[in-house]
Chain A
Amino acid sequence: MNKTKKMNFGAFRELLLVGVVLLLCVVWTIMNSQFLSANNISNILRQASYTAIAAVGMTMVIIIGEIDLSAGSLVCAAGLAGAVVCKNTGNVFLAVLASIAVGALIGAVNGTLCAIGKLPGFIASLASMTVLRGLAYIITGGNSVVWSNENFTMIGTGYIMGIPVPVIIMVIVIIFGVVLTTKTRFGRYIYSVGGNMEASRWSGIAVEKVKIFVYMIMGILTAIAGLIITTRLGSGQPSAGLNFEMDCITAAVVGGTSMAGGRGKVMGTIVGVLLLTVLTNGMTLVGMNTYWQQVLKGVIIVISVLADTRGKR
């Protein structure tokens, strides 16, 4: 009987998190009726969108037992790549393609260093984080990159049938992430490599390939997030995306992904993103000091992981 309780904790945990999000919504609404306005809800979703998109990739990276610290720099680099191409060619399609290509390339480099070069993912992505940020400043000379194609700007700011474009992209990415991790062979491989890499190898799984693919998915999703952030800002900035990787990691951890690998769910991470976004949005709305906001976020991380480890016992 005891074990049944344990089994259900995973699902229970997500429900609990959803409950916390709803509770927060109630609290913020009481404190400021503006919270529930259509405008603010759309705002929250747009704020959540780019973090959620990259966090889907980060969840997979963490499930295989690695980490990607280069996400913030890649948001910047991929966004810049799109901005530069758009500025010079005026072609939105080419701009998006360039951005995603940069993401895939960096993901492949991180993954190869980690899987073939046997570097810890932490180190490999720490290096690319530093290199990319440096390159961003070298290429732009520290200036912002501006384009003049309205269609490109639409990626971050446009609406389709009243729904913000980033939110639509987010929904597509979430479906992709959930399907990939739960309905495909590759998804099983992700969990198995993270759960026990050696046993996976002994089971005939090409462990290296799995790792490289996961990092590439992470890179591509981060590039998409970078496109949204950059087009929302209206210009490519060499300083964009600072600490972005930490937001993704926080969301995944709060959402129940184990840093030891092998355990975690895309949906959990999404709820984690929502929780953090609602928290930040509400705190800003009621006029809380931003420094206190940071303190509170830290406390939430500790509480959620403590609850998780206790729940597993």
Chain B
Amino acid sequence: MSDVIVKMEGISKAFAGIKALDNVQIELRKGEVHALMGENGAGKSTLMKIMTGVYTKDEGTMYLLNEDSGRMEEIEMKSPLMAQKEGLSMVFQELNLLENMNIAENIFIGREPVGKSKFINKEELNKRASQELAKVKLDIRPDTPVSGLSCGQMQCVEIAKALSFQARVVVFDEPTASLSEKESQVLFQIIEELKSQGVCIVYISHRMEEVFELSDRITVFRNGTYIDTVETSRVTEADLIKMMIGHDIAGKKECGSAFINQDQVIMEVKDVVVYPESRPVSFKLYEKEILGFFGLVGAGRTELMRKIFGIDPIGEGEIYIKNNKVHITSPKDAISAGIGLVPEDRKGLGLILGMSIKDNMLISKLGQLKSGWLNRRVLKQITGSYISDLGISLRNEEQAVKELSGGNQQKVVIAKWLAMTPDILILDEPTRGIDIGAKSEIYALMRKLTESGKSIIMISSEIAEVMQVSDRIIVMHEGNISGEITAEEVTKNNIMQAAFGGIENE
């Protein structure tokens, strides 16, 4: 076991009282590609961020190989800079480059070579950067501004930056999510080469093919707990899915009452292309149903809804509401067509945080009122009824919405849309960051709404939530619809298989 570089044991971490990691472990070896797998929120990224000093752990110990003595020594990772100096680097999903600087400046930021005069030695800087770029096979002048680079090139710069610290471990978090096929192949070559030099690669990915192609070992997490570490050659995709979702749930039906009336199509979406390279997507929404949209990160669910709601252009796609074609080019059009959308980014897109609860609830409704004058009594009636219906706890309506808890804020956003009396309500991750009590209230509310005749589309990344709430589930994978499952047929297995692109059954 002399080739172990990093060992972490008993690691726990909580965010705002919610456990993200519970007593997990991992062991990384020289020259291996170690894949981390698990559902969204399983704790993969969190563990790696602890290892690279972005987060600090609450409990547990981390050991790092001391190259001089050849022994494992305990270490407290205090900052990303410290981790980088120890040779542990992470290439982030969302790239971390400073766009207005050039490649060399980005690679050596904070460590620029300086001459006696304390000014930066540009020549030396560019020379060293060229050496680093050669390692990642990026044939570009080091003084090229980063802003002009493609995603793949930026990633190469990130990797070069990681290597410039004499990296011993490089973590890739969903590296191919934003890369083209060709760029991905280049990345795999680089990974193979790093591996042959004895660098350990940690590879976090949802893409089964890549994991099987690249990795030597796989560690699986589920809900913040460690499940197992296995040799890639000894497992099948089906084994992995089973490990990720647990065992006992196959075939168990948890969905809400499936009373979908297939004759009443409320909305039909035709031929919407989510990502440039993906196939056109079409689906129907029936009256009084909750249609769940499941998928892994990057599956394109939010992007699809943005197009339907008129935030992004819909291209060749068509939308029919009750068999009438509608042209939606802005949220305003979508609202007139009877569609409401509760966005995932509640604070950035759903609410105007500095404004009062009352104003937030009314801001969309105002456009529907005939008169442009605010009539206190009429408005009070509207807000009052939703505050009591939804059970929003507040001190008074004039209170700024930013003072409310996440659950109550979400209810304000929902109230805002209910006030518009839409026929179709799209909820994007409606319970994210909300405590359990408020969650079940929101589920009950959704059910009540469909019973009163509305139709709901719910995007969720929580498999249990999708199964519990939906009447029907559409699963997306990389911009395509990879499965449609009714409440009767649903199992965690078939959802996850579809989410991974629809692999063969065992």
Query: Chain A residues in contact with chain B, CB under 8 A?
Result: 3, 7, 183-189, 191-192, 195-196, 198-206, 262-263
Q: Quick check: B363 and A203 within 8 Å, CB to CB?
A: yes
Sorting the interface of chain B by its residue count into under 10, 10 to 19, 20 to 34 or 35 or more gives 20 to 34
In the complex, B335 has a CB within 8 A of chain A? yes
Question: With A183-B374, A185-B373, A188-B359 known to touch, is A204 a contact of B364 (CB < 8 Å)?
Answer: yes
B320-356 residues at the A interface, CB under 8 angstroms: 330-332, 334-335, 341, 343, 348-355
CA separation between A175 and B330, bound complex, in Å?
34
Q: Quick check: A196 and B348 within 8 Å, CB to CB?
A: yes
Encode contact with A along B356-373: 1 for CB under 8 Å, 0 otherwise: 000100111011010111
Cβ of A192: which chain B residues have Cβ within 8 Å of it? 352, 355, 359, 363
Cβ of A201: which chain B residues have Cβ within 8 Å of it? 311, 330-331
Distance (whole angstroms) from the CB of B437 to the closest CB of chain A: 23
Q: Which residue of B lies closest to A203 (CB)?
A: B364
Cβ of A189: which chain B residues have Cβ within 8 Å of it? 363, 366
Distance (whole angstroms) from the CB of B359 to the closest CB of chain A: 6
In the complex, B178 has a CB within 8 A of chain A? no
B362-409 residues at the A interface, CB under 8 angstroms: 362-364, 366-367, 369, 371-374, 395, 398-399, 403
Set B330, B373, B374, B398: member contacting A7, Cβ < 8 A? B398
Distance (whole angstroms) from the CB of A187 to the closest CB of chain B: 8
CA separation between A240 and B352, bound complex, in Å?
40
Question: With A202-B331, A202-B350, A262-B352 known to touch, is A184 a contact of B416 (CB < 8 Å)?
Answer: no
CA separation between A203 and B351, bound complex, in Å?
9
Cβ of A204: which chain B residues have Cβ within 8 Å of it? 330-332, 334-335, 364, 367
Please provide the 4 A-B residue pairs with the shortest distance between their CB atoms, ordered closest to farther: A195-B352, A204-B335, A196-B352, A203-B364
Distance (whole angstroms) from the CB of A210 to the closest CB of chain B: 11
Q: Quick check: A188 and B362 within 8 Å, CB to CB?
A: yes
Set A7, A188, A198: member contacting B363, Cβ < 8 A? A188
CA separation between A188 and B330, bound complex, in Å?
20
| Among A183, A191, A192, A263, residue most surrounded by chain B Cβ atoms (within 10 Å) | A192
Distance (whole angstroms) from the CB of A195 to the closest CB of chain B: 4
Q: Quick check: B363 and A183 within 8 Å, CB to CB?
A: no
CA separation between A187 and B363, bound complex, in Å?
11
Cβ of B330: which chain A residues have Cβ within 8 Å of it? 201, 204, 206
Q: Quick check: A185 and B366 within 8 Å, CB to CB?
A: yes
Q: Quick check: A184 and B372 within 8 Å, CB to CB?
A: yes
Q: Quick check: A198 and B349 within 8 Å, CB to CB?
A: yes
CA separation between A196 and B355, bound complex, in Å?
10
Q: Quick check: A199 and B399 within 8 Å, CB to CB?
A: no
Cβ of B331: which chain A residues have Cβ within 8 Å of it? 201-204
23 contacts between A and B (CB under 8 A): A3-B403, A184-B372, A184-B373, A185-B369, A188-B363, A189-B366, A192-B355, A195-B352, A196-B351, A196-B352, A196-B354, A198-B348, A199-B349, A200-B363, A201-B330, A202-B309, A202-B331, A202-B341, A204-B332, A204-B334, A205-B332, A205-B364, A263-B354
CA separation between A195 and B355, bound complex, in Å?
7
Set A186, A202, A262: member contacting B355, Cβ < 8 A? A262
Consensus secondary structure, chain A interface? helix
CA separation between A201 and B369, bound complex, in Å?
18
| Among B330, B369, B398, residue most surrounded by chain A Cβ atoms (within 10 Å) | B330
Q: Quick check: B354 and A262 within 8 Å, CB to CB?
A: yes
Cβ of B349: which chain A residues have Cβ within 8 Å of it? 198-199, 202
Q: Quick check: A199 and B352 within 8 Å, CB to CB?
A: yes
Distance (whole angstroms) from the CB of B123 to the closest CB of chain A: 37
CA separation between A262 and B403, bound complex, in Å?
17
Q: Which residue of B lies closest to A198 (CB)?
A: B349
Cβ of A203: which chain B residues have Cβ within 8 Å of it? 331, 363-364, 416
Cβ of B395: which chain A residues have Cβ within 8 Å of it? 3
Using A196-B354, A202-B349, A262-B354 as known contacts, list a sample of 14 further A-B pairs with CB atoms less than 8 Å apart, ordered by residue number in A: A3-B403, A183-B373, A185-B367, A185-B373, A189-B363, A195-B352, A198-B349, A199-B351, A200-B363, A202-B331, A203-B416, A204-B330, A204-B332, A204-B334
CA separation between A189 and B355, bound complex, in Å?
11
Distance (whole angstroms) from the CB of A11 to the closest CB of chain B: 12
Q: Quick check: A205 and B311 within 8 Å, CB to CB?
A: no
Q: Which residue of B lies closest to A180 (CB)?
A: B372
Q: Which residue of A lies closest to B362 (CB)?
A: A188
Encode contact with A along B272-314: 1 for CB under 8 Å, 0 otherwise: 0000000000000000000000000000000000000101000
Distance (whole angstroms) from the CB of B422 to the closest CB of chain A: 11
Q: Quick check: A196 and B359 within 8 Å, CB to CB?
A: no
Q: Quick check: A202 and B332 within 8 Å, CB to CB?
A: no
Cβ of B334: which chain A residues have Cβ within 8 Å of it? 204
| Among B335, B355, B395, residue most surrounded by chain A Cβ atoms (within 10 Å) | B355
Q: Quick check: A199 and B374 within 8 Å, CB to CB?
A: no
CA separation between A204 and B349, bound complex, in Å?
12
Cβ of B351: which chain A residues have Cβ within 8 Å of it? 196, 199
Cβ of B399: which chain A residues have Cβ within 8 Å of it? 3, 7
Q: Which residue of B lies closest to A193 (CB)?
A: B352
Q: Quick check: B343 and A191 within 8 Å, CB to CB?
A: no
